[in-house]
Structure 1
Amino acid sequence: MKKVLLMSAMLVTGAAMATPQFMLKNSTPMEVITQQEKVKIEAEALPDAVKATISQSEEVKALPIAEAYQITQLDGKFHFEVIFDNGSEEKLTKKYDQEGNEIKD
């Protein structure tokens, strides 16, 4: 009887020690870096469609353009970022596609 109890205890102890230990790996999410080319352009160099949209917008048509950028994306498409001087420290920024449509974020 003692042998049976001793063997059972050894079996349970051995099984407990032989259980594989799972180690959780702290994986960090992979960062995807998208590279866009941002080129400063003159306000006069904006496409006519963008200029027309700006001139028709009640919000920005009276504001002077402080800066304008052409942003080329990885797929070859590009859009325009126009920064308007609205008289405050934080300037008003709008984005337009090639057809002059405003891009809402």
Structure 2
Amino acid sequence: MKKSILIAAVLMSGVAMAAPVANTNFSPIATEIQEAKVKIEPDALPEPVKTAIANDASVSSLTISEAWQWATPEGTYQFKVVFDNGTEDKLSKKYDQEGNEIKE
């Protein structure tokens, strides 16, 4: 009887002392989305996006400092264009491949 109580006590204390295991599983979807975003040269932007920028009075006179491209789940592309407006907080806009601005 004493042995069975002692064994139960040892097992319970072992379970109580067990270190928690951290969950290190990361979502593969988030990784794929980050990897699909590619920095491109401003000259590589599609013509409809360049035309939309040229026709937008708020950004047509600004210099493009960065351009990014990524694929959407629908199989199209979207673009983020970062403009140098002379301040620390740069202006950025998103466009679809037809040159339509994506408002968030």
* TM-score, scaled relative to structure 1: 0.65
1:57 corresponds to 2:56 = yes
The one-letter code of the counterpart of 2:50 is K
Q: Which residue of 2 aligns with 1:72?
A: 71
Unaligned stretches of 5+ residues in structure 1: 1-30
SS of match in other structure, 1:59: coil
RMSD: 1.7
Q: Which residue of 2 aligns with 1:40?
A: 39
Pairwise CA distance, 1:33: 4.4
Pairwise CA distance, 1:71: 1.2
Deviates more, 1:86-95 or 1:34-43: 34-43
Regions of 4+ moved over 6 Å: none
Q: Which residue of 2 aligns with 1:101?
A: 100
Pairwise CA distance, 1:77: 2.1
Pairwise CA distance, 1:75: 3.5
More helix by share: 2
Check 1:32–1:41 CA distance in 2 against 1; reply closer, same or farther (3 A cut).
closer
SS of match in other structure, 2:49: helix
Q: Distance in 2 between matches of 1:83 and 1:101?
A: 16
The count of residues paired between Structure 1 and Structure 2 equals 75
Could you say which structure has the larger radius of gyration?
1
* TM-score, scaled relative to structure 2: 0.66
